[in-house]
Structure 1
């Protein structure tokens, strides 16, 4: 028996990994949970097996899945790879255990369906916690199956998670169906009909959208964009001559710029000079870019940068504030996006979805001492500063508004939609994926960007330091993808739809609904547990009185 359960655990893990981008076959997700759900069925009907066994077999499945899918983190940090895998595995295993516990007290007809709200609740909370790591959200698994998921503009990736989980549960219900006095054949027929509808209706809707969508209709004013892929080693750039690197980037960029170019996009932390925002106009880099712009008055430069801000005396500090070593004053460091144009105003946005362990130490407000353990990947180490508002860069004539999304932020659907709510017409993703070498990591990150284009129906210009730099249209289709680890520059006219999508306006409403259902289910389970305990106590008291 134990051998069979171990084999089923590994089978689920293998199916999940084999479905995942960039090389996986996404439809395998529809059967990936079947072996694990069969394990749960066996354990729930065997008095010798308990909840700890659910956690054990779930742990095996989720550990192997995480390890096979995100092993590439090892290239950036061995410790980070181990922690990401272990934390995610433990959280997933606890989620499956909670599902098992709640299912055991729910009516048989609906018990197994509790997996859907329980799992999506985990994914939703994992988008927002201190250890936030939503890379493995099930809806992300369709990132290379774009013609199937055009309806993400209504649901976001949680719609994909709901789809995957519902199909798995319905399949298990059908496969384990047993006709009894309480369950008729009509229920099985209903399950089969429901399964067919759940699988095929979304695909049909998506195909209709995909093949009838008009990229160049109902658009805001198009913009001509040039994107740079400078290909500078991320482990060496912060110790190199920043003036020389800036000159090299401008020389490369000028090969694809003319008087009609509206935007030039540089990647994350392309400007490595330590720029003080208090005196930003005194920066050599800023002066050099402003001088460059005099040749192209229409041009705006959007670039990643390392910046810092010194607090004045009496000014309120943040949780990430640092003290100068030789002075009694404080500052914050930021991973920043800047827009530099023909005006004297430099527009600034600070990255605010930070990578745990490198850009942000979890629970920093209460565990400040953890700063010393932050991973050093070059540049500023320790927890970086953030901001509350999703700042949108506005062109001097207000004809275009840009969402400057920095690296890790691009895997958060609702977060990106906040830029669109603030008026953004186009999305520029500034990233540096060179930490992971030429592995699945940077390819997954690229394909996840396509999901943001579908959710928002906004075109994307993606500038990646070492690759992959590209354009992505409103259907999520990638154009002019550049080769990994090559210096290059590309240009294209970008189009984006006027207005906002249903998902942009309503956010993660599916996940919030599942959260409420999960809370209700757990409260019901707790209440039933307490009632059963009290009933046992009453029975004991009755027996004592009778004796």
Structure 2
């Protein structure tokens, strides 16, 4: 095979892998890896003439195309930072293929394919778990555009989708290989046809049964959602601007709030003036007083919304690694969700899953000198404080809600922690205006749909702009607002207190993959040592 043909195969794989992130059906991933598997087999077949690094370069080329085409919209925030992350992610992806290819060469063909599957899933899990998270290219997540075929995520989470995609690619490649190899017997070809067909049909049929058979228990809560539509690139952070945002928020809320309304939901950082939201002074906060006065016009309405708050530390024991020191005052800034009831009482949740390079410095405890070096995104930027685990907010009527802020909706296991602690309803507060009119805000919505399926919780999603909506327990979007329009919607969603298998057991698939990966690596070392 000539070099140009190999590069064309790599480019084809990169293009196929990126297509679902442009809104095309997620099932394209069922065969998107086949060109790379064909290349891997070529280098395996002619391994005497090519070093193992030959495959690495071809996969890196495909992975870089995939990263760029699927994530280009992130460069609207930082070309250098996001570009570096793309290159690094492509490096990790290609290294997984190189490692699996090396094992296939040195040990056995089946073990090589097993290694590819478990190494890839382990890499995806790492992308959710370490301090420079890059989970947006997870294979299983993009199937959210095909909700009816992934209802079984309530058992496996999105890693079940990744496993499904990888196995299908391998079996479809083996099927293609059997037809290209004229020496293969008809029995072998029929075996691959049967196995591939079962791998495609069984999960889809199972999902359709779950989809048609799932009925929400009637347990309604009436919610109003506010979409202020503030441009994050031009907004100001002075008192006059904050007052205008308050007026606009209340004007929109007036149109959809009635005596039947239980909860009003605002987006992330409705108010961002960092010096106006001292957590020790909420009782005298002008904005909270105005919002409470508005709530008193209705029988039972409460309000949950986002602000940029801060907390001053008087005692040295309270100081955190993320704390700032300005003129001798030591404090933390937070991306905060506030629940305000009619009595003026507040409950606080601090965003825990922070965006690397924007809201936190990765590995800060090792590189504290970089604390104040970050991408400037206005009021929510800088090294923020965080809480270490998920915590719920409880309304006066006893309804327990999960306050999920922006990036946190990407993390299935983290959102499940809210549900384990009693959340009956999920509220997602976000500001998708940073991504402008790109695929960014559309892709972000898909993660909320996945969380609804995994937890079987209804979701009220409030975006500053983008898509504000309700999402039912099957992951379907209801009453979606338009992009770049101030809007307010109102509707009822059902609470739920049942625990799904995924919520109870978490990400058991990647845990198993990591265990198998460790065993394979140990086997390789033992064989090399002997």
- Same topology, TM > 0.5: yes
Contact 1:459 / 1:472 at 8 angstroms: preserved in 2?
yes
Q: What secondary structure does 1:302 align onto? A: strand
Offset from partner CA, 1:158-214 (integer Å, 9 cap, x none): 00000000001112223334999xx98766544433222211010001111212222
Q: 2:214 corresponds to which residue? A: 213
1:528 deviates by: 1.1
Q: 1:3 corresponds to which residue? A: 4
Contact 2:289 / 2:344 at 8 angstroms: preserved in 1?
no
Contact 1:105 / 1:528 at 8 angstroms: preserved in 2?
no
Q: Which range moved further: 95-104 or 329-338?
A: 95-104
Measure, in 1, the Cα distance between the counterparts of 2:350 and 2:229: 23
Q: Which range moved further: 476-485 or 187-196?
A: 187-196
Q: 2:460 corresponds to which residue? A: 461
Contact 1:225 / 1:261 at 8 angstroms: preserved in 2?
yes
Measure, in 2, the Cα distance between the counterparts of 1:10 and 1:268: 39
Alignment of 1:44-63 (within 5 A): 44-46=44-46, 47-63=48-64
What is the TM-score normalised by the length of structure 2?
0.95
Offset from partner CA, 1:426-446 (integer Å, 9 cap, x none): 111000011111001111111
1:371 deviates by: 2.7
Q: 1:192 corresponds to which residue? A: 193
1:172 matches 2:170: no
Q: 1:87 corresponds to which residue? A: 88
Q: 1:525 corresponds to which residue? A: 524
1:227 matches 2:228: no
Q: 2:318 corresponds to which residue? A: 316
Measure, in 2, the Cα distance between the counterparts of 1:430 and 1:95: 35
Offset from partner CA, 1:119-149 (integer Å, 9 cap, x none): 1000011100111110000001211100110
Measure, in 2, the Cα distance between the counterparts of 1:22 and 1:425: 33
Against the structure 1 CA distance between its residues 418 and 238, is the aligned structure 2 distance closer, same or farther, given a 3 Å change threshold? farther
The number of residues matched between the two structures is: 523
1:288 matches 2:290: yes
Alignment of 1:384-399 (within 5 A): 384-398=384-398
Measure, in 1, the Cα distance between the counterparts of 2:364 and 2:44: 41
1:340 deviates by: 0.3
Where in structure 2 are there 5+ consecutive unaligned residues? none
Against the structure 1 CA distance between its residues 397 and 26, is the aligned structure 2 distance closer, same or farther, given a 3 Å change threshold? closer
1:277 deviates by: 1.0
Measure, in 2, the Cα distance between the counterparts of 1:125 and 1:61: 21
The structure having more radius of gyration, on CA atoms, is: 1
Q: Which range moved further: 315-324 or 183-192?
A: 183-192
What is the TM-score normalised by the length of structure 1?
0.92
Q: What secondary structure does 1:312 align onto? A: coil
1:84 deviates by: 2.7
Q: What secondary structure does 2:226 align onto? A: strand
1:282 deviates by: 2.2
Q: Which range moved further: 171-180 or 241-250?
A: 171-180
Offset from partner CA, 1:207-254 (integer Å, 9 cap, x none): 112122223x2x5x3110000010011123342521221121011111
Where in structure 1 are there 5+ consecutive unaligned residues? 532-547
Against the structure 1 CA distance between its residues 178 and 522, is the aligned structure 2 distance closer, same or farther, given a 3 Å change threshold? farther
Measure, in 2, the Cα distance between the counterparts of 1:497 and 1:281: 33
Q: 1:204 corresponds to which residue? A: 205
Offset from partner CA, 1:374-412 (integer Å, 9 cap, x none): 0001114322111123111101131x1100100011011
Q: Which range moved further: 2-11 or 343-352?
A: 343-352
Tell me which stretches of 4 or more aligned residues in structure 1 moved more than 6 Å: none
1:486 deviates by: 0.3
Q: What secondary structure does 1:373 align onto? A: coil
Q: 1:534 corresponds to which residue? A: none
Alignment of 1:267-282 (within 5 A): 267-274=267-274, 275-282=277-284
Against the structure 1 CA distance between its residues 522 and 187, is the aligned structure 2 distance closer, same or farther, given a 3 Å change threshold? farther
Coordinate RMSD, CA, aligned: 1.9
Contact 2:292 / 2:343 at 8 angstroms: preserved in 1?
no
